[in-house]
Amino acid sequence: MPQLPLSPGSTLGILGGGQLGRMLSQAASRLGFDVVILDPQPDCPAARVSRAQITAPYNDPDALQALGRLCDVVTFEFENVPASSVETLAEAGALVAPGPTALAVAQDRVDEKTYLNAVGAVTADFAAVATLDDLTKAIDKLGLPAVLKTRREGYDGKGQVWIRDAADAEAAFDAIGRRPAVLEAAAVFNRELSVIAARGHDGVVAVYPLGENIHANGVLKTNLAPAAVDAKTQARAVEIAAAVLDGLDYVGVMGIELFDMGDGVLLVNEVAPRVHNTGHWTQDGCVCDQFEQHVRAIVGWPLGPTEAHARIEMTNLLGDEIDQWRALAAEPNARLHLYGKHEARAGRKMAHVNRVLGAA
Amino acid sequence: MPQLPLSPGSTLGILGGGQLGRMLSQAASRLGFDVVILDPQPDCPAARVSRAQITAPYNDPDALQALGRLCDVVTFEFENVPASSVETLAEAGALVAPGPTALAVAQDRVDEKTYLNAVGAVTADFAAVATLDDLTKAIDKLGLPAVLKTRREGYDGKGQVWIRDAADAEAAFDAIGRRPAVLEAAAVFNRELSVIAARGHDGVVAVYPLGENIHANGVLKTNLAPAAVDAKTQARAVEIAAAVLDGLDYVGVMGIELFDMGDGVLLVNEVAPRVHNTGHWTQDGCVCDQFEQHVRAIVGWPLGPTEAHARIEMTNLLGDEIDQWRALAAEPNARLHLYGKHEARAGRKMAHVNRVLGAA
């Protein structure tokens, strides 16, 4: 294992070469680190701003061995990293952050919710579902409407379906391929918030101001930060973040989606053990953005400040919305962040724009 | 010639892969452009954050042909680009910005000062020196002390010597290798300022607030921006910048070093037809920094805003001053920008730090 803090000139590896890997790489290079990307897609967005790419599947043992040998520390842009890949990287001599425990918990919705409730980060009521019979019992217990989600590998609204009538239970179970699932009670919340938090190897936790999220078709559309919340709500978010990160001995940045139930009560919707779309506002709202913060955490540098100096409205540009670049380039306070994806498939995240609304 | 504005996904070429090329590349990638670097040094700092590097001398015709074919637009991180290289790039189909006129003027101190005075951007008195006899006459005309500089290829205090006694004239001429030179009268100024300005293909000019420069051993040490200047002085700087850029039909960012003579009177010390060390403060003081501004200008996008939102103290880290990274990483408002140079030779620019002093 390399000695911390890592010096500039050390090499950082990233599993995943999409926009999150790209923006992590850009932040790492600002701090003088070299970056190597592992991604099966040749010439991926992150590779084009990094020192090198290893083009191979994420579970390719030889590729992981090579990455682990090249890099002092390896991190991820997504949570569905096989535990075996993490082991291979560690065996090859790389520090891996965040660690396997955090990944394992985040990969299974039932394990995740069980963990969250155990550390006092309360979620909506839920029940594990393995069979149609489980589902029927779960509906009786939780009531309707409720949302049925696969335990593993769901994101951006994929692998989940709402059930409003008990008669639709089997159709819903079929719709998610009768895979192991979790039924979640509908939380009647005022709005969805999210908080970006970081924890260092030394256990220090730093939490950004809450942001408010607006989704469209299950995909984040807009994020407003800092959100207009009372001190009690922000304080509760900090409490939740500290409990969740400490409990996992977490190292790096985590995105935590929350339901605002009012009066300072927050339910955790889900957590992502990585930099998060709802943290993009920090690039133009804070002096140390979530990407630099993640790099600082994993290389053992002190965490950066999390205060906001500007109010930001972050909007994702999906698919051919990227064609708006001409108009956006002419908007003085629209800060554009493009991902270098050449094919604008429908719904694909192509870029985001941070609109500076004013001083925080 | 490619059609403007260039779309995201277009390719930008940079001659020179040092820190300026590196930060230009990082800004270009944020806007969705791919970047190719031409630099004789393999694995140069800019190449490690760019899509590709062509490793060859700056005047290698085949390399320039290849770069020109790969890229929609080509720019430079330094001014000493042979005119023939620019021609080759243009022949290969690339737009080249800034153009050959600006480069030619900036490459020769006599031509530069002659041009500046012609457009009303007054400089200190000067005289061209080709022979020792010229030098003696120039000393009689301008008086002493005066500074003798080679006409071409001087930077960071290299190729220049102060003359305080007429008896030292020949020694001074020898010291600069008896090369074609210019003698400059000593300007008795209050302080040195500099201004970063940009001009687009459409002729629009955008000027950042003035910064104040503190040099050590002829190398910029610290830059404070926005500088505390009266409206008259800032207005004069804008006037000078517009005159200098318009007169060259300039496209891109230019750094202009000024002597503050008081009462709104500014003399031009020298100009650099590129992003400039005294503009690094914009990375953390403005929403659109000089690097993005240069990219916007050359690709035909509207120029970004130039207002400062924060007061910044920029300090260069030279040679082993880079070892200060541990302390700087722990300073909450110190924003580090490291260049990825692995060998910390004495006096080499390794990084800079922007200290956020407060809101502008």
Which H or E run includes B267? strand B265-272
pLDDT at B156: 61
> Distance (Å) from the C-alpha of residue B48 to the closest C-alpha of chain A?
4
Q: What is the DSSP letter of B27?
A: H
> Which amino acid is located at A144 in the chain?
L
Chain A: residue nearest B5 by CA? A326
Using the beta-carbon criterion (under 8 Å), do B330 and A49 form an inter-chain contact? no
Q: Give the model confidence (pLDDT) of B208-265 as tens digits.
A: 999 999 988 878 899 999 999 999 999 999 999 999 999 999 999 999 999 999 999 9
- Chain A residues in contact with chain B using a Cβ-Cβ cutoff of 8 Å: 5, 7-9, 22, 25-26, 29-34, 48-51, 284, 287-288, 296, 301-302, 304-305, 309-310, 322, 325-326, 329-330, 332-333, 335-340, 342, 351, 356, 359
Which single residue is written with the structure tokens 């690709």? B299
Using the beta-carbon criterion (under 8 Å), do B333 and A309 form an inter-chain contact? no
B356 neighbourhood in chain A, CB within 8 Å: 287
Q: Is the pLDDT reported for residue B163 higher than 70?
A: yes
In the structure, what pLDDT confidence band is assigned to residue B287 with cuts at 50, 70 and 90? very high
Percent of chain B with pLDDT over 70: 99
Mean of the pLDDT values across residues B143-160?
Answer: 85
Closest CA to B182 of B267, B269, B100, B249: B269
Radius of gyration of chain B (CA): 20
Q: What is the interface size between A and B, counted as CB pairs within 8 Å?
A: 104
Burial of B331 (0-12, 13-18, 19+ CB in 10 A): middle
Using the beta-carbon criterion (under 8 Å), do A332 and B305 form an inter-chain contact? yes
Chain B: residue nearest A302 by CA? B330
pLDDT at B253: 98
- Chain B residues in contact with chain A using a Cβ-Cβ cutoff of 8 Å: 5, 7-9, 22, 25-26, 29-34, 48-51, 284, 287-288, 296, 301-302, 304-305, 309-310, 322, 325-326, 329-330, 332-333, 335-340, 342, 351, 356, 359
pLDDT at B158: 72
Which single residue is written with the structure tokens 């031509």? B111
Q: What is the DSSP letter of B143?
A: -
> Distance (Å) from the C-alpha of residue A227 to the closest C-alpha of chain B?
21
Three-state SS across chain A?
CCCCCCCCCCEEEEECCCHHHHHHHHHHHHCCCEEEEECCCCCCCCHHHCCEEECCCCCCHHHHHHHHHHCCEEEECCCCCCHHHHHHHHHCCCEECCCHHHHHHHHCHHHHHHHHHHCCCCECCEEEECCHHHHHHHHHHHCCCEEEEECCCCCCCCCEEEECCHHHHHHHHHHCCCCCEEEEECCCCCEEEEEEEEECCCCCEEECCCEEEEEECCEEEEEEECCCCCHHHHHHHHHHHHHHHHHCCCCEEEEEEEEEEECCEEEEEEEECCCCHHHCCHHHHECCCHHHHHHHHHHCCCCCCCCECEEEEEEEEEHHHHHHHHHHHCCCCEEEEECCCCCCCCCCEEEEEEEEEEEC
B32 neighbourhood in chain A, CB within 8 Å: 325, 336, 338-340, 351
Mean of the pLDDT values across residues B2-26?
Answer: 97
Chain B: residue nearest A50 by CA? B49
B33 neighbourhood in chain A, CB within 8 Å: 340
In the structure, what pLDDT confidence band is assigned to residue B155 with cuts at 50, 70 and 90? low
pLDDT at B157: 63
> Distance (Å) from the C-alpha of residue B359 to the closest C-alpha of chain A?
9
The neighbouring-strand residues paired with B197 are B207, B254
Q: What is the DSSP letter of B214?
A: E
pLDDT at A2: 86
Q: Is A79 annotated as a binding residue?
A: no
pLDDT at B111: 97
3-class state of residue B211 by DSSP? strand
Mean of the pLDDT values across residues B90-100?
Answer: 94
ipTM field: 0.95
Using the beta-carbon criterion (under 8 Å), do B287 and A284 form an inter-chain contact? yes
Q: Is the pLDDT reported for residue B85 higher than 90?
A: yes
pLDDT at A106: 92
pLDDT at B218: 77
Q: Which two tokens stand for residue A170?
A: 């089997």
pLDDT at B154: 67
Known binding positions of B: 109, 149, 154-160, 192, 215, 269-270
In the structure, what pLDDT confidence band is assigned to residue B113 with cuts at 50, 70 and 90? very high
Chain B: residue nearest A33 by CA? B340
Walking along chain A (360 residues) 10 residues at a time, the average pLDDT comes out as 93 98 98 98 97 96 97 96 91 94 93 98 98 97 96 76 96 94 94 98 98 89 96 97 98 98 95 97 97 98 97 97 97 97 94 96
Chain A: residue nearest B33 by CA? A340
Percent of chain A with pLDDT over 90: 93
Q: Which of B6, B10, B33, B48 to mutate to test the interface with A (most CBs of A within 10 A)?
A: B48
pLDDT at A29: 98
